Structure 1
Amino acid sequence: MGFVDLFCAASMPVLKVLIVTALGSFLALDSIDILGPSTRKQVNNLVFYVFNPALVSSKLASTLTYESFKSLWFMPVNILLTFIIGSGLGWALIVIAKPPQHLKGLIIGTCAAGNLGNLLLILIPAVCKEKGTPFGDPNVCYDYGIAYASLSTAIGAVFLWSYVFNLVRVFSDHSQHSGHNVVTRIEESETRAEDLTQSLLPSSTTSVNTKIKVKVILGKMKQHLGNFSRQVNLKAVFAPSTLGAIVGFIIGTIAPIRRLLIGTTAPFRVIQDSASLVGDAAIPTVALILGGNLLRGLKGSGISLPLVFGIVAVRYVFLPLCGILIVKGALYLGLVHADPLYLFVLLLQFAMPPAMNIGTMTQLFGSGESECSVIMLWAYGFASISLTLWSTFFMWIVG
């Protein structure tokens, strides 16, 4: 298969995303104001709570089975590696650039968390419809591609809201004060516990000494775990998309439930069809919101462009190169099956732009909002070139 054919097959899906994104930016202009800030917020809530969960659950339920899930076990490992490697590269960038304290969580988060959900759900179906791809029948490619992208969405959401959410929180100004107070309270309680231990310890009874020390250690551990559980937002971990994935997984892998809902002869297939109908609205809606949100980056902020370009280099140069080594190594060791589409999705997970939900996190904590908008503007601007080139190269590798 020639380079020109692969390049055309890779560029068309990216161009489709750019066109819909540009439309979203146009609708969000002050002179148009169809997709203004308040409207975007309401539509984003609709996508977050309704469209995305319906899309993820319906596509996973229809394409995922227990047998197929066993062959996809490497995807969570692959996504975890993108977060680990991205975090390491982001920390190295912080050491070099020395940004303000409140931006450190944002920088590590944008380097670690790629757009593993919505953008894949747009790109993969579009890639399957193009001629000249190495993925075979377009309909089969579409069904399995949506399943791979849906699973990526669910896993990525868990890592994003459990790791990056708390990372941004910790490095925000408010969280710095909260974290300091928590540490201070822990240290004070430890000091009081040690003083109490010293006052109660009989000098002549070793067994009593040991029992009291064990009780004090257990008390400290319980206190640390309690403080940790209060600090980590477990509700955010179980985002609607994650719950939708759980529902889809249960329906798809449990045969009696699957027979009730999935298939042309299923008695309750109308439920699955309705969920699929609602979920399909997520793909264009997300692209429109993305375009509207990127307008905020045009206003600029105090973040330096070298730092922004450092994040772009991490996401579009170093991470994809690491991804090639990891996926090819996993294929060589027999950890993944030689399905071109599956390998393509695994590789693409290393080359995605930063997750848009990071902007939501900065809004929530009131720290780094304008800087995040600038990062997203440049990152998604370069994504049109980067995704096309890397997609072409990835297709050549897997084909």
Structure 2
Amino acid sequence: MGFLALFMVALMPVLKTLMLTAVGVVLAMDRINLLGPTARHNLNNMVFYVFSPCLMGAYLARTVTVDVMIDMWFMPVNILITFVIGSALGWILIKITKAPHNLHGLVIGCCAAGNLGNLLLIVIPAICNEPKNPFGEYSVCMADGAAYVSVSMAVGAVYIWSYVYVIMKISAEKTSRGERLDTHHSVVSIRSSNAGSENTEPLLISKVGGTVPMLEKMKKGAFGIVRRIRTINLQMLLAPTTIGSVIGFVIGVVPLLKKLLVGNGAPLRVIYSSSEILGGATVPCVTLIVGANLLRGLRRSGVSASVIIGIIVVRYIALPLLGIVIVRGAHHFGMVGSNPLYQFVLMLQFALPPAMSIGTISQLFEAGEGECSVVMLWTYAMSALALTLWSTLFMWLVL
């Protein structure tokens, strides 16, 4: 296929995503107000606690088998590489732009986590549905594509709600502690000035035993980190998306459970069908929420242009270029098979806009919601061009 034909194939799913996003923008307008702050919060909770876990479980139960997992062993590694490299580039971006402390978690999260689930659920079926797609007939393309998307979605969800969730939680806690300390110091300063005190005693000097030993401070810091990690791990294990993914994997790889639940002749197929129906609401609901949040981003700007440009450079230039090198290198050394659709999905995982779950996490912590809206606005606006061009190039490389 020529480059122009590949470009048209890649453009269609992006246009579909933009149309759904535009509907979300319209529904959030003041005149309509069907997706106001309260509605978005409630819909986010529905996606987080109901729709997304059902989608994970249904997709994985239907598509995953032991053989599929063996064939796709490199995909979890590939996704982990995107998270590690993205977070490292995000940390460098923070140092270069001197982003404020309250945005550190948001910047690293946006650079690390791509939209590995919802966007691929739109992109891959749309590409397979194109008459001139380079990956074969629709039935063959979708049979492989559904497995790739489901594993990508599940693994990405686990990484987001463990790795990125931890980073953003720690950042939010540090920001909250910093604000409390600033308030405390302001109160102390006011009281001291009112009393006419000129005491300049250092804060780290003990009234009884002199300077606080450095070893004691290190011990307290280490114990605090251990306590946070224990709490975060428990929360990660209890995340609904993680539970849904685990249930889906178990049903998929255990033949007896799959025969009981999945298929037209399965005795308990009503359970699977109900979960599939609920899960089908995930993509449209999340995309509508993104559109509504983009409208909020248009109305306020709480993040500097340098940070936004930096995130765009990381997600749409640095990561895709590194992705080509990594995936082609893995294929050269025999770690990735010759299936062109598989290689395409692996490369595409490096070129996606930030995960929509970043907005959900920021809303859960009530930290950086406005800034997240601005970042999502510009990154998703740029994705229309970037994702189309990279998809075209990736298809050309794997054919």
TM above 0.5: yes
Asked whether the equivalents of residues 158 and 241 of structure 2 are also in contact (C-alpha less than 8 Å), the reply is no
Corresponding position: 1:67 with 2:70: no
Distance 2:26 2:222 in 1: 54
Distance 1:107 1:27 in 2: 28
Corresponding position: 1:81 with 2:88: no
The Cα offsets for residues 18-62 of structure 1, whole Å up to 9 and x where unpaired, read as 111101110110111122221222222222222222222112111
Q: After superposition, where does 1:224-303 map in structure 2 within 5 Å?
A: 226-303=226-303
- 1:367 Cα shift? 3.0
Residue aligning to 2:397: 397
Distance 2:255 2:79 in 1: 28
Matched letter for residue 118 of structure 1: N
Structure 2 CA distance for partners of 1:175 and 1:224, relative to 1, 3 Å: closer
Normalising by structure 2, report the TM-score: 0.86
Distance 1:221 1:272 in 2: 47
Structure 2's unaligned 5+ residue stretches are: 182-203, 205-211
Matched letter for residue 341 of structure 1: L
Asked whether the equivalents of residues 286 and 356 of structure 2 are also in contact (C-alpha less than 8 Å), the reply is no
Residue aligning to 1:198: none
Residue aligning to 1:211: none
Residue aligning to 2:357: 357
Residue aligning to 2:45: 45
Structure 2 CA distance for partners of 1:65 and 1:33, relative to 1, 3 Å: same
Bigger mean CA offset, 63-72 vs 279-288: 279-288
Residue aligning to 1:213: none
Asked whether the equivalents of residues 327 and 343 of structure 2 are also in contact (C-alpha less than 8 Å), the reply is yes
Distance 2:156 2:177 in 1: 24
Distance 2:350 2:392 in 1: 14
The share of aligned pairs that are identical, in percent, is 52
Distance 1:239 1:116 in 2: 18
Distance 1:6 1:175 in 2: 51
Asked whether the equivalents of residues 260 and 269 of structure 1 are also in contact (C-alpha less than 8 Å), the reply is yes
Corresponding position: 1:174 with 2:183: no
Matched letter for residue 83 of structure 1: F
Q: After superposition, where does 1:85-100 map in structure 2 within 5 Å?
A: 85-100=85-100
Q: After superposition, where does 1:54-203 map in structure 2 within 5 Å?
A: 54-172=54-172, 173-174=175-176, 191=216
Distance 1:365 1:241 in 2: 17
The CA RMSD over aligned residues, in Å, is 2.6
The Cα offsets for residues 169-210 of structure 1, whole Å up to 9 and x where unpaired, read as 22231155799xxxx9xx98964999xxxxxxxxxxxxxxxx
Residue aligning to 1:378: 378
Matched letter for residue 257 of structure 1: L
Matched letter for residue 174 of structure 1: S
Residue aligning to 1:6: 6
Distance 1:327 1:238 in 2: 33
Matched letter for residue 98 of structure 1: K
Asked whether the equivalents of residues 150 and 245 of structure 1 are also in contact (C-alpha less than 8 Å), the reply is no
Structure 1's unaligned 5+ residue stretches are: 195-219
The Cα offsets for residues 327-366 of structure 1, whole Å up to 9 and x where unpaired, read as 1011111111111221111111101111122223233333
The Cα offsets for residues 89-123 of structure 1, whole Å up to 9 and x where unpaired, read as 11221221111122122111111111112111222
